[in-house]
Amino acid sequence: MLGVFVSMDMILFYTFFEASLIPMYFLIAIWGGERRSYAANKFFIYTFAGSIFMLIGMIWMSGQYAGITGERSFAIADIQNLVAGGTFWSTAMHLQPLFWAFTLAFLIKTPAFPFHTWLPDAHVEAPTAGSVILAGVLLKMGTYGFLRFVLPFFPDAVQKEAGKVVALAVIGILYGAIVAAMQTDVKKLIAYSSVAHMGFVLFGIFTLNHTGLVGASYQQLAHGISTGALFLMVGLLYERTHTRKFSDYGGLKAQMPVYSALFLIVMLSSVGLPGTNGFIGEFMALLGGFDTAAKDLYGIPFVYVVLAGAGVIFAAVYLLWMFQKVFYGPITNPDLKRLKDLKRWEVAMCGLLIVFVFWGGLYPNTFLRPMEPSIAAIRMMALNPEGDRPSWTNLETEIDGKGNLVQVTPRERAGDAWEIVNVVVPANFYPESESEEPIIPKLTGEGAEPH
């Protein structure tokens, strides 16, 4: 899976993208539950079939590159430089189909509605380790693909089709929340909550707003920690009881107080409680959507933002309902009276994740600062007009005399002259003290709306 995130070649990316299916397939098929074969096959067929369209798109784009330069290349930087220079899509006639070929592959991997049905089955049947890997890493390969390929490669199509993708994201947020509230299995409820939370990532990306994009990137990290921790803690409970049905629980708080307290913290981070890592990403994604809708850009109306915001409320409803059913009330199952609380090593394992829950919620700048330059570069390439889009290969960041983090392109390779193309993060975006108010970063470019 690491190869997916470091690949600089399209075919290499595709190879790692597909190779990641193999260990996950066997994790589910060998060590999974009763319906492990069905879940493993469904997972493999869904994700593999969707990626075929992306492979065809990669081959076509390499051929397009060869038609322009005289030699074939699958290097991401080579394709991107032609797109940035305005010479790639000026002769291409298949922009929209290629956009959807890549988008379909990543929608399935994310997964987004209506391509999500493989995820609940995979989560429920997978062993605890498989569920943690699914939530923590595998799903992020899809949303990473949008940032790595779709936004930089298809800027015109992205701006035209953003509203449709955001609509799918909003449907996924609401659908995931509603179906989660109908579950009687703890693990399946968390699986559907994962569909809703990944909808916020997709929502933030296609707001095409700097704040929304940063929030989406942060939400990927927060979701991996919080939802991964939830699956881990459900696994610890399943090892003791061998059941995940709500009807088999009740009154667990009195029997396992330490476990209950740790579970509550992780659950509240998944709800998006301020002070936890789950709040930052969702808030920034919604703020980015509000800003985009206020400017009437990319076919994203206010109603999408309102409905996505309602998803946060629904998440609180079904997760708190689950907590009440499992941990409160009288103990009706006599087997629960023999349960022992977490061991020291289990507390240490869960406690480490909870440290990141609070660290990410109270000190988000630790993670937001490193994201800013890359996110600003991605957004610039997606929004600026053809021929005025600096490529990633020559884009740098510098601190100007006023303390602003700026994007620059070298005017002369041999000299020290720089052309400032954008102010990415104003000096006072990150306050040094509680008395200073942060301001929303602004990214402007000729032909792009300021945000």
* Confidence bin at 52 (pLDDT 50/70/90): very high
Give the pLDDT confidence of 11-46 residue by residue, as tens digits. 999 999 999 999 999 999 999 888 999 999 999 999
Q: CA angle 203-221-155, nearest 5°?
A: 40
Range of the domain at 346: 2-375
Q: Which two tokens stand for residue 256?
A: 């396992």
Give the pLDDT confidence of 169-199 residue by residue, as tens digits. 999 999 999 999 999 899 999 999 999 999 9
Q: Is residue 451 part of a domain?
A: no
Residue 401, CB-side half-sphere exposure with 13 Å CA sphere? 0
Is the pLDDT reported for residue 399 higher than 70? no
What are the beta bridge partners of residue 422? Answer: 407
Please compute the mean of the pLDDT values over residues 430-437 and round it to a whole number.
43
Cα 209 to Cα 259: distance, rounded to the nearest angstrom: 40
* Confidence bin at 445 (pLDDT 50/70/90): very low
Q: Which two tokens stand for residue 287?
A: 């703020």
Q: Is residue 441 part of a domain?
A: no
What does the pLDDT read at residue 407? 52
Q: Dmax of the chain from CA atoms?
A: 78
Is the pLDDT reported for residue 393 higher than 50? no
Helix 210-241 vs helix 257-271: crossing angle, to nearest 10 = 150
Q: CA angle 6-11-14, nearest 5°?
A: 70
Assessment of whether the complete model's pTM goes beyond 0.85: no
Look at residues 257, 447, 437 and name the one whose alpha carbon lies nearest to residue 341. 257
For residue 181, what are the contacts with CB-CB under 8 A and spacing of at least 6?
Answer: 189, 314, 317, 318, 321
Please compute the mean of the pLDDT values over residues 113-119 and round it to a whole number.
91
Q: Is residue 444 part of a domain?
A: no
Q: Is residue 244 part of a domain?
A: yes
Give the pLDDT confidence of 297-321 residue by residue, as tens digits. 888 999 999 999 999 999 999 999 9
Residue 394, CB-side half-sphere exposure with 13 Å CA sphere? 17
**Helix, strand or coil, per DSSP, at residue 407:** strand
Q: Is the dihedral of CA 77, 52, 298, 376 positive or negative?
A: negative
Helix 155-180 vs helix 95-109: crossing angle, to nearest 10 = 30
**Helix, strand or coil, per DSSP, at residue 280:** helix
Domain count, the chain: 1
- Any idea which residue has 């989406």 for tokens? 216
Q: Is residue 266 part of a domain?
A: yes
Say what the alpha-carbon torsion angle 309, 311, 317, 318 is, to the nearest 10 degrees: -160
Cα 442 to Cα 274: distance, rounded to the nearest angstrom: 24
Q: Is residue 11 part of a domain?
A: yes
Q: Is residue 155 part of a domain?
A: yes
Q: Is residue 439 part of a domain?
A: no
Give the pLDDT confidence of 69-103 residue by residue, as tens digits. 888 989 898 888 888 777 676 655 667 889 999 99
Residue 205 contacts residue 164 (beta carbons within 8 Å): no
Exposure string over 352-390, b if 16+ CB within 10 A, otherwise e: ebbebbeebbeebeebbeeebbbbbbbbbbbbbebeebb
What are the beta bridge partners of residue 259? Answer: none
